[in-house]
Amino acid sequence: MRPGAHSQRYFGGMMFGFLAQRLFQAIIVVFAMSIIVFVGVYAIGNPIDVLIDPGATAEIRDNLIRQYGLDQPLWRQYLTFLGNVAQGDLGKSMVYNISVVDLVFSRLPATLELVLVSVVIATVIGIPAGLYAGYRPNGIAAKAIMALSVLGFSVPTFWIGMLLIMLFAVNLGWLPSGGRGEVGTIFGIPTSLATANGWSHVIMPAINLSLFKMGLLIRLSRAGMVEAMNTDYVKFARAQGLPDGQIVFRHILRNISIPIVTVFGLELGSTLAFAVVTESVFTWPGVGKLIIDSILQLDRPVMVSYLIMVVILFVQINLSVDIVYARLDPRVRLKGGK
């Protein structure tokens, strides 16, 4: 037998057990949340009161109720919903009168590009700034960086968004106050990132959305750096005469990457789910703006489908983070395989 083959099969089996356990947990979570979401949304009001004219006859009202299946008991409506979901049908919007899947995916590219830019901004600025603040914790620049992170945590997103609009759109006139701007194509995908006008529209809401994540990455990176600076491997690396950049990026960053990757993955899901505030402030035509409009109009199929998709998205991201975590730390595979 080839040396190491037995251990490879052993760890491969544990990795399979780890993935099977996480996948089973994910299915249970999605099923439980679908019940909670369905019951919660269907308890907030009757959409028929919003859809039809108050002066409509009782016959018209009853026909519309039967058309949408609202005359059925809640448990039967839920089973019908599950059956449709199993066939890839999330229903039809009561307001837009089109498939919910088509409606959501028509708005999804705008949200994804906003989230992508905000995550890149938070990562490119947050991690290096946190590493520097931990490397020189008593410097003026480090204290300014930590003050910025506190600002990102403490100040409400909508308030910062309005300040950005007042400063850069109203007073200075440098950037537009809202909207998505001109849309081009990249590899056949329509996106505002393909045009200069689109970038002028996305940069301000992306900065607004990135501040909380940036503050979180700064604090995580700084805490990991401060802890790592007192470890033996850093002292040995310095004793060998290695340059500071090599010590930080080749040794320290690799060892503190596990909590950063974990939190980054979880925050990616929250950024997608909670971009609602930013999209509302900047009138960004994404999924978040769609769900706000759907709540105001009691468009039940859109609300339920959106929330279920968010749950699935969170579960998928958590599963991906678990897999990356297991690759970075073999002890996770050992625990998951038991």
Spatial CB neighbours of 58, under 8 Å, sequence gap ≥ 6: none
Tell me: do 114 and 226 sit in the same domain.
yes
Tell me: do 42 and 161 sit in the same domain.
no
Q: In this structure, is residue 292 part of a structural domain?
A: no
Query: Per-residue pLDDT tens for 312-324?
Result: 777 777 777 677 6
pLDDT at 260: 73
The string over 17-49, giving b where at least 16 C-beta atoms fall within 10 Å of a residue's C-beta and e elsewhere, is: ebbeebeeebeeeeeebbeebbeebbeeeebbe
Q: What is the mean pLDDT of each run of 10 residues along the chain (338 residues)?
A: 51 64 79 80 68 67 72 78 76 79 83 87 86 80 83 80 88 85 78 84 89 85 77 70 69 71 70 79 84 80 79 76 65 49
Tell me: do 117 and 242 sit in the same domain.
yes
Range of the domain at 319: 1-95+297-338
- CATH code assigned at 254: 1.10.3720.10
Tell me: do 154 and 169 sit in the same domain.
yes
pLDDT at 283: 84
Tell me: do 87 and 134 sit in the same domain.
no
Q: In this structure, is residue 289 part of a structural domain?
A: no
Query: Per-residue pLDDT tens for 14-60?
Result: 666 767 777 787 788 878 877 887 777 776 666 666 666 666 667 77
Q: In this structure, is residue 179 part of a structural domain?
A: yes
C-alpha span between 15 and 202 (Å, rounded): 41
Tell me: do 38 and 160 sit in the same domain.
no
Nearest to 302 by CA among 291, 292, 288, 286: 291
Spatial CB neighbours of 115, under 8 Å, sequence gap ≥ 6: 209, 268, 271, 272, 275
Tell me: do 323 and 188 sit in the same domain.
no
Tell me: do 142 and 205 sit in the same domain.
yes
| Domains contained in the chain, number | 2
Tell me: do 130 and 199 sit in the same domain.
yes
pLDDT at 49: 65
